[in-house]
Amino acid sequence: MKVIKQELLRKIKEFEKAYKIKLPPERIIGIGKRGLVVKLDSKTCLKISKDVGFLKREYLCLKELNKYSIGPRVFSYYPKFDAFSMEYIKGVLFEDFLLKETSKTTILSVIYKIMDQLFTLDSLRLNKEEMHRPVKHIIIKKNQPFLIDFERCAPTNKPSNLSQFMQYLSSARVSELLTKKEIILFKKNLLERIRDYKRNLCEETLTQVKSLIWFYPRTSFEKIYTIARTIPKGKVATYSQIAKLANTNPRVVGFAMNKNKLWPVVPCHRVIGEKNLGGFSKGIDKKKTLLTADGISSFSEISKYILSLDELNEHSIKLLENIEKAYKNALKKS
């Protein structure tokens, strides 16, 4: 490592001379087996390799993935130094985020966003690698996750980004962190859901995997989201029904739906008013489109699709029982 560091520092000196800039040692963000990352300014950093051509693949990979809002934005590649400039992401590592964040909804939202990015990678048939232990590969900035370090990313016919990440979340150390935050992983059904996901890579199977990560509901919003997520496809429930079961006000339910960060696990488009469709943060036309996709064909007769309060309560009780059981098992193991 000492020899590698010396070689990298030598290349940094050459880079400084070529571009007439100063990159003092205190700007070094990190040193790996082959490369070094150094800050150019408050918004930009440089990744440079001791080998020639090693980082070109990562640069080209990130350039393509930037189209899907994945990874730090890349700017320029420097062939002579096998280096590229990219966006400097100032945030916290994923596990540090888990330790510091107090909102269960925010934690779950960030996990779902990571899963969305991994789904995109799987769909593109690219394997990032190291997602089974991405300790330094996920940075959280303002509750937005950024995947970094794509040195080993390569095409494959059998992508495993999401399955590796679920393996990571299931590990003893991370499970314990999640349990302390009252975030629950339904491990019993995980293997089967991952198999379904690999056989049929689509949004629906992704949502099924997401649904295996939930929280122990204590606050009004957490209870509202837990009840709302049980509304089945092709059915709707009213703000008043959910409010009654959550022991709160219908307006609070409406506000929670408007702030929902957990769609589609929490299908807020299936929550309506007593006599109308109610509101939707993405517009009523989008709500109608989603309900139509669910199999609801008549909005003038929407009332015939409303679950009875007993049905909604039955669905909610079943989910709460599963949550209670999974949470107790997690506590035993932590």
The first and second tokens of residue 107, run together, are 């934690």
Beta strands in 149-292 (DSSP E): 154-155, 183-185, 213-215, 237-238, 271-272
pLDDT in tens, 17-56: 998 999 888 899 888 777 889 999 999 999 998 777 789 9
Task: Looking at the structure, tell me whether residues 97 and 207 fall in a common domain.
Answer: yes
3-state secondary structure of 332: helix
Calpha distance 231→237 (Å, rounded): 7
- The whole-number pLDDT of residue 6 equals 81
Segment among 19-28, 47-56, 85-94, 209-218 with least mean pLDDT? 47-56
Domain-terminating residue out of 66, 87, 108:
87
CATH number at residue 71: 3.30.200.20
How many CB atoms neighbour CB 266 within 10 A?
24
Q: Are residues 170 and 269 in the same domain?
A: no
Instruction: Say if residue 123 is in the same domain as residue 207.
Output: yes
Angle between helices 190-199 and 161-170 (to 10 degrees): 170
Burial string for 270-299 (b: 16+ CB within 10 Å, else e) reads bbbeeeebbbbeeeeeebeebbeebebeee
Q: Are residues 156 and 105 in the same domain?
A: yes
pLDDT per residue as tens digits for the range 303-325: 999 999 999 999 999 999 999 99
Neighbours of 334 (CB within 10 A): 12
CA dihedral 154→156→122→90, nearest 10 degrees, is -10
Summarize pLDDT for 233-268 with one digit per residue, the tens: 999 999 999 999 999 999 999 999 999 999 999 999
* Pair 111, 34 in one domain: no
pLDDT for 4 equals 59
Q: Are residues 205 and 272 in the same domain?
A: no
Q: What sign has the CA pseudo-torsion 101, 98, 43, 154? A: negative
- Percentage, residues of the chain above pLDDT 70: 99
Question: Is-contact 170 193, C-beta < 8 A?
Answer: no
- pLDDT higher than threshold 90 for residue 11: no
Same-domain check for residues 60 and 148: no
Complete edge-to-edge strand list for the sheet that includes strand 144-147? 92-93, 138-141, 144-147
Distance of alpha carbon 92 from alpha carbon 274, whole angstroms:
44
Q: Do both 209 and 226 map to the same domain?
A: no
Contact 184, 330 (CB under 8 A): yes
- Residue 2 above 80 pLDDT? no
Q: 301 and 189 in one domain?
A: no
| Residue that is last in its domain, among 65, 87, 109 | 87
Are 129 and 241 contained in the same domain? no
Annotated catalytic residue 61: no
**Residue 215 three-state SS:** strand
Q: Is residue 15 domain-shared with residue 126, that is, in the same domain?
A: no
pLDDT single digits (tens) 137-182? 999 999 999 999 999 999 999 999 999 999 999 999 999 999 999 9
In this structure, the number of other CB atoms found within 10 A of the CB of residue 60 comes to 15
CB 309 within 8 A of CB 298: no
- CATH number, domain of 296, equals 1.10.10.10
Instruction: Report whether pLDDT(229) > 70.
Output: yes
List the beta bridge partners of residue 83.
48, 78
Reply yes or no on whether the pLDDT at 192 is more than 60.
yes
Give buried/exposed letters for 147-167 (b at 16+ CB in 10 A, else e). Answer: bbbbbebeeeeebbbbbbbbb
* SS3 assignment, position 87: strand
Domain endpoint, select from 87, 122, 145: 87
pLDDT of residue 332: 87
Q: For the chain, what is the radius of gyration of the CA atoms?
A: 23
Predicted pLDDT of residue 197 = 98
Q: Which domain holds residue 138?
A: 92-213
> For residues 300 and 316, which has the higher predicted lDDT (pLDDT)?
316
Q: Please report which residue ranges of 20-72 form alpha helices under DSSP H.
A: 56-65
pLDDT at 1 over 70: no
**Is residue 200 domain-shared with residue 257, that is, in the same domain?**
no
Name the token pair of 302. 């929407």
Domain count within the chain: 3
What's the per-residue H, E or C state across 156-195? CCCCCHHHHHHHHHHCHHHHHHHHHCCEEECHHHHHHHHH
Q: What is the pTM of this model?
A: 0.95
pLDDT over 60 at 231, yes or no: yes
